[in-house]
Amino acid sequence: MATEDQIRNYAHQLWEKAGRPEGRDAEFWHAAEVELNAESESPDTPTQPDQPNSNSLPV
Statement: residue 43 has pLDDT above 80: no
Domain ranges, residue 41: 4-48
Q: According to the model, what pLDDT value does residue 13 have?
A: 97
Average of per-residue pLDDT across 46-57? 58
Cα torsion through 14, 42, 49, 11, rounded to 10: 30
24 belongs to a structural domain:
yes
Which one has a higher pLDDT value, 38 or 46?
A: 38
> d(Cα 58, Cα 14) in Å, to the nearest integer?
8
C-alpha distances in Å from residue 50, one per residue of 9, 21, 24, 53: 11, 22, 23, 9
pLDDT tens per residue across span 8-41: 999 999 999 999 999 999 999 999 999 999 987 7
Give the count of domains, the chain: 1
37 belongs to a structural domain:
yes
12 belongs to a structural domain:
yes
CA quadruple 33, 37, 40, 46: dihedral sign: negative
pTM equals 0.67
